[in-house]
Amino acid sequence: MKDVARVIVTYDCPRNCPNCCNEHIGDVPAVKFEDLLKYKELVITGGEPMEIAPRVVEMIHRLQANGYNGKLWLYTSCLKTTKWADRAVLQAVNGITYTLHHKPSQKDLSDVCKLNKYLLENLDNRAHDRSDRLLIDSRCYTEEVLRIIGLYDTGTKHWSSIKPLEWKDDECPIPDNEELIYYDLERV
Ligand code: SF4
């Protein structure tokens, strides 16, 4: 067993990206809740975990109630700081990796803008022990997009990193130290 589990909690995602990673990953072993407790770190992913954010909040509380004290991370591209459950997950994890995908809508840009401001004002990694990363699809990594999401106003130091993401069809590598598993949070 590896130290880190990348946990798919749902396959649902509103984005429908062409060549979504989940089309290429094959069978992912399904695990029970007790299995999650064995890992040192859990990376919560999907699909889009924030589609079922209240259930993710409940899962995190259940992990903590069962003595889990490992690190928790979140991979998302749809976190809305206007929703209580999204904020609760954001505050409960050690950090997020947020991806702004190609051809973002005005709403997508507005959501990232609000997230950027929320992190600066509430969860700045310089004051909190966090690691928040922003990935922007290289096809929309432009000065205009960086301006719209507010990075020229706020600066970037409250993010651990901001990088362009090269979209590669058919390539979704998992780091060597991570194990991909499926925990069906929709049925819990
Ligand atoms: S955002 Fe991620 S999970 Fe959703 S369709 Fe795109 S690649 Fe797939």
Please give the order of strands across the beta sheet that includes 71-76: 161-165, 133-137, 95-100, 71-76, 41-45, 4-8, 178-182
pLDDT of 71 = 97
Domain-embedded: residue 44: yes
For residue 174, give its domain range: 4-182
CB 145 less than 6 A from any atom of ligand 1 = no
Q: Are 76 and 50 in contact (CB under 8 A)?
A: yes
Atom of ligand 1 nearest to the CA of 46: 3
pLDDT of 11 = 95
pLDDT of 171 = 67
CB 17 less than 6 A from any atom of ligand 1 = yes
pLDDT of 23 = 86
CB 172 less than 6 A from any atom of ligand 1 = no
pLDDT of 170 = 65
Domain-embedded: residue 161: yes
Neighbouring CB atoms inside 10 A of 3's CB total 12
CB 168 less than 6 A from any atom of ligand 1 = no
Intervals of the chain under pLDDT 50: none
Structurally, how many domains does the chain consist of?
Answer: 1
Domain-embedded: residue 162: yes
What CATH number is attached to the domain comprising 129? 3.20.20.70
Domain-embedded: residue 188: no
Neighbouring CB atoms inside 10 A of 28's CB total 16
Q: Which of 8, 9, 10, 15 to mutate to test the pocket of ligand 1 (most atoms within 8 A of CB)?
A: 15
Which of 97, 5, 18 lies closest to 50, judged by CA? 97
Rounded Cα–Cα distance for residues 114 and 109 (Å): 9
